[in-house]
Amino acid sequence: MRKLFQYGGIAASIVLIAFGIGAIYMGIDGRGYVRDNLAAEKIVGTEDSTIPGQLVDTGAEAQAFAKVMREHTLESTGGKTYSEMGRFLDANGKDTNDEQAAAINEQTGKPVENGLRNLWVTETALTTALNTAYFAEQVALFATVMGVAMLLAGLGFGVLTFRALMPAEQREEGRAKASPSAAVSA
């Protein structure tokens, strides 16, 4: 039974170490993937952002830029969000959801769409992508930290397994060698 526990402890230690190494690799690779893809978009922080003139190439910078985009969109719409605006514009340029009250586009014969509402659709798509980059980088960081924790736990578990399951005579010899007072009393 002792051998079963010893081999089980060793197997558990190896599995923890392997998963730890895998998680560290995946975390570092994921972080690099996010940063490479953000940099490829060549987004530069606007002057009124917390990152003026700086290339957006980290998750935190992507989140900061998404906040600025939302502010700009709110400025453009007079503080209205997508759900607060009508789908169409009337003859006076005011938004409405009433198709009958909407101005008619002479070229298409259809009601004039509210372009600012469409701006929200674009802003939402872009800020969602930027916020997803932030989230993905945070997940990568979590994976890296968890990988380190699993690696350390696996190493610690391996040490304990070898130490606790080694024969009593070997443990006593190890203690005697490690203790300086044991050498003096002998």
Is 185 inside a domain boundary? no
Is 96 inside a domain boundary? yes
> CA 145, CA 151: separation in Å to the nearest integer?
10
> CA 13, CA 19: separation in Å to the nearest integer?
10
Is 39 inside a domain boundary? yes
Is 66 inside a domain boundary? yes
Is 85 inside a domain boundary? yes
> CA 99, CA 148: separation in Å to the nearest integer?
59
165 pLDDT above the threshold of 90: no
Is 183 inside a domain boundary? no
Is 184 inside a domain boundary? no
Is 20 inside a domain boundary? yes
Give the pLDDT of residue 3: 76
Does the pTM of the predicted model rise above 0.85? no
**Structural domain span for residue 8:** 2-165
The total number of structural domains in the chain stands at 1
